[in-house]
């Protein structure tokens, strides 16, 4: 089976981890700060805060912005559940906006319609690795006057650019994931980037139980005293994970290029298959291709998404579907009374989309195998 995504671990990654395992610091140690600094530099942000997952990164962003009961946060319907869950963790209300049909990115006009006096933030999701329309989103956020923060769920988009600005340097806060299927991995892990020192400081406290100083800082000062100033969590990323992250980060540019070249091979092949439509790529972006998503829109009733999905899996192609629109999940229907019809574009897209295998370790022959299988089941 060719999976839809897969990590790439080299001998130097293993060496980097082993070195830390032999050192004094297993969890918060010198590698955490080194990884944060390297990451901030990579994406052109002033600050980066490492946490234990992409979900923790989103949660920390909501905490830093002070999201709480009564606050509304607008998120696109077409995303992973964690984008909405982070709002609920803080007692806020996620409000679902629809997406653009050709890119499945949040539709800025639809998002604007859903703004109320309670709206505190918009979380844009760079779906599949393509940056959202940040020009339009920033205009909307500033036009509202009441200080709507712009958060980027950039879990798909490490290495992407919007009008030459790297993702991670655009929104007020940007959240990344280092799950094995993402661009770089630390097993589990995440990062938030920002240019705002206060927000960064709040998140550093949040990831460590709400305590002002960490164990290492106290040790170096020869002090036992600490104060808990906020309710936080244990969302720390370990030192050996950060060593792995630093080692992986060195290969990011090469991996993004490989992802783009695989996407180019798919694009070329699917020009000849009418019923297989790749998502559109906008002119002013550099797409990081976490996912390669196509819409299946055949007239043939035997070529519906479920059938194609099953046939491709039977041929050893590890296709997937990203995502079930979040407002259709039972939890959201029950807790927030969301219903089908609220985001018709996302709902229709959900019936037609399929994600094809895409990861830097794929060789051209793997890509050809996938293309041949798609041709076989759709023609
Ligand atoms: C992967 C992902 C997350 C969550 O990241 P984890 O590291 O798995 O917690 C959140 N949002 C999106 C869009 C993702 O793809």
Please return the burial class of 21, using the count of CB atoms within 10 Å of its CB with bins 0-12, 13-18 and 19+: exposed
Q: Are 137 and 208 in the same domain?
A: yes
| Mean pLDDT of the 349-373 span | 98
Q: How confident is the model at residue 297 (pLDDT cuts 50, 70, 90)?
A: confident
Q: How confident is the model at residue 133 (pLDDT cuts 50, 70, 90)?
A: very high
Residue 143's pLDDT is 85
Residue 112's pLDDT is 96
Element (H, E) at 200: helix 197-206
Q: Domain limits at 307?
A: 252-378
* pLDDT at 376 > cutoff 90: yes
Q: Are 227 and 326 in the same domain?
A: no
- For residues 235 and 207, the answer to whether their CB atoms sit within 8 Å is yes
Residue 219's pLDDT is 79
| Mean pLDDT of the 16-36 span | 96
| Ligand 1: residue whose CA is nearest its atom 3 | 54
Is 283 among the residues known to form the active site?
no
Residue 300's pLDDT is 87
Please return the burial class of 27, using the count of CB atoms within 10 Å of its CB with bins 0-12, 13-18 and 19+: middle
Among the listed residues 120, 161, 182, 311, the single catalytic one is 182
Q: Which of the residue ranges 141-145, 194-198, 223-227, 326-330 would you say has the lowest mean pLDDT?
A: 141-145
Q: Are 59 and 123 in the same domain?
A: yes
Q: Are 131 and 228 in the same domain?
A: yes
Q: Are 204 and 268 in the same domain?
A: no
103, 106, 111, 112: CA torsion to nearest 10: -70
> Whole-model pTM?
0.97
* pLDDT at 215 > cutoff 80: no
More confident position, 147 or 51: 51
Q: Are 188 and 59 in the same domain?
A: yes
Where among 220, 249, 278 does a domain terminate? Answer: 249
| Mean pLDDT of the 67-76 span | 98
Where among 249, 274, 298 does a domain terminate? Answer: 249
Q: What is the residue-wise DSSP string for 159-194?
A: T-EETTEETTSSSSEEEEE--TTSSS--SS-EEEEE
Question: Ligand 1: does its nearest atom lie under 6 Å from the Cβ of 80?
Answer: yes
Element (H, E) at 316: none
Domain of residue 57, CATH code = 3.40.640.10
Question: Ligand 1: does its nearest atom lie under 6 Å from the Cβ of 54?
Answer: yes
Q: What is the residue-wise DSSP string for 110-125?
A: HHHHT--TTEEEEEEE
| Alpha-carbon gap, residue 204 to 185, rounded angstroms | 21
| Mean pLDDT of the 64-70 span | 98
| CB neighbours of residue 89 within 10 Å | 16
Q: How confident is the model at residue 379 (pLDDT cuts 50, 70, 90)?
A: confident
Beta bridge partners of 73: 94, 121
Q: Are 168 and 302 in the same domain?
A: no
Q: How confident is the model at residue 147 (pLDDT cuts 50, 70, 90)?
A: confident
For ligand 1, the distance from its centroid to the CA atom of residue 18, given in whole angstroms, is 27
- Neighbouring residues of 363: CB distance < 8 A, sequence distance ≥ 6: none
More confident position, 253 or 218: 253
* pLDDT at 214 > cutoff 80: no
Residue from 155, 182, 289 whose mutation best tests the ligand 1 pocket (most atoms within 8 A of CB): 155
Q: Are 221 and 264 in the same domain?
A: no
* pLDDT at 56 > cutoff 90: yes
| Alpha-carbon gap, residue 133 to 300, rounded angstroms | 34
At 158, give phi and psi (nearest 5°): -60, 125
| Mean pLDDT of the 188-194 span | 98
- Neighbouring residues of 176: CB distance < 8 A, sequence distance ≥ 6: 39, 54, 57, 154, 155, 158, 168, 182, 190, 191, 192, 193
Q: Are 146 and 235 in the same domain?
A: yes
Pairing of strands 285-286, 353-356: unpaired
Q: Are 114 and 219 in the same domain?
A: yes
- Neighbouring residues of 203: CB distance < 8 A, sequence distance ≥ 6: 49, 51, 60, 61, 63, 64, 192, 194
Residue 216's pLDDT is 79
**Domain count of the chain?**
2
Residue 220's pLDDT is 80
For the chain, the average pLDDT equals 96
Q: What are the pLDDT digits (tens) for 89-105?
A: 999 999 999 999 999 99
Q: Are 275 and 142 in the same domain?
A: no
> What percent of the chain shows pLDDT beyond 70?
100
| CA 157 from centroid of its chain's CA atoms | 6
Q: Are 298 and 191 in the same domain?
A: no
Q: How confident is the model at residue 2 (pLDDT cuts 50, 70, 90)?
A: very high
For ligand 1, the distance from its centroid to the CA atom of residue 32, given in whole angstroms, is 20
- For residues 94 and 73, the answer to whether their CB atoms sit within 8 Å is yes
Where among 181, 216, 249 does a domain terminate? Answer: 249
Atom of ligand 1 nearest to the CA of 322: 15
Q: How confident is the model at residue 196 (pLDDT cuts 50, 70, 90)?
A: very high
Domain of residue 285, CATH code = 3.90.1150.10
| Alpha-carbon gap, residue 144 to 117, rounded angstroms | 9
- For residues 121 and 149, the answer to whether their CB atoms sit within 8 Å is yes
* pLDDT at 124 > cutoff 90: yes
């Amino acid at each position: 089976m060719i999976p839809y995504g897969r990590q790439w671990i080299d001998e130097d990654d293993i060496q980097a981890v082993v070195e830390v395992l032999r050192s004094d610091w297993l969890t918060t140690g010198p590698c955490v700060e080194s990884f944060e600094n390297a990451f901030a530099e990579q994406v052109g942000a002033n600050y980066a805060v490492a946490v234990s997952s992409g979900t923790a990164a989103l949660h920390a962003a909501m905490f830093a912005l002070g999201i709480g009961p009564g606050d509304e946060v607008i998120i696109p319907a077409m995303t992973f559940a964690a984008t909405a869950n982070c709002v609920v963790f803080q007692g806020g209300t996620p409000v679902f906006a629809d997406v653009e049909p050709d890119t499945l990115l949040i539709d800025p006009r639809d998002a604007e319609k859903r703004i109320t006096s309670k709206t505190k933030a918009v979380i844009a999701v760079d779906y599949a690795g393509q940056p959202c329309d940040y020009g339009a989103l920033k205009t909307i956020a500033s036009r509202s006057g009441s200080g709507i923060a712009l958060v980027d769920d950039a879990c798909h988009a490490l290495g992407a650019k919007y009008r030459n600005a790297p993702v991670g340097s655009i929104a007020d806060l940007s959240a990344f994931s280092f799950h094995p299927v993402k661009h770089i991995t630390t097993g589990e892990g995440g990062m938030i980037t920002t240019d705002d020192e206060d927000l960064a400081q709040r998140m550093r406290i949040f990831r460590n139980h709400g305590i002002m100083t960490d164990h290492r800082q106290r040790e170096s000062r020869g002090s036992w005293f600490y104060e808990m100033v906020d309710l936080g969590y244990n969302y720390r990323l370990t030192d050996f994970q950060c060593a792995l992250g630093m080692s992986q980060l060195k290969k990011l540019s090469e991996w993004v290029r490989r992802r783009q070249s695989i996407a180019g091979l798919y694009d070329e092949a699917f020009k000849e298959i009418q019923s297989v439509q790749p998502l559109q790529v906008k002119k002013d972006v550099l797409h990081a291709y976490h996912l390669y998503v196509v819409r299946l829109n055949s007239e043939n009733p035997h070529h519906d998404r479920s059938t194609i999905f099953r046939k491709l899996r039977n041929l050893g192609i590890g296709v997937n579907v990203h995502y079930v629109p979040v407002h259709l999940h039972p939890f959201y229907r029950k807790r927030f009374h969301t219903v089908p019809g609220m985001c018709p574009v996302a709902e229709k897209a959900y019936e037609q989309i399929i994600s094809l295998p895409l990861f830097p370790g794929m060789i051209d022959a793997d890509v050809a195998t996938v293309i041949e299988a798609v041709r076989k089941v759709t023609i």
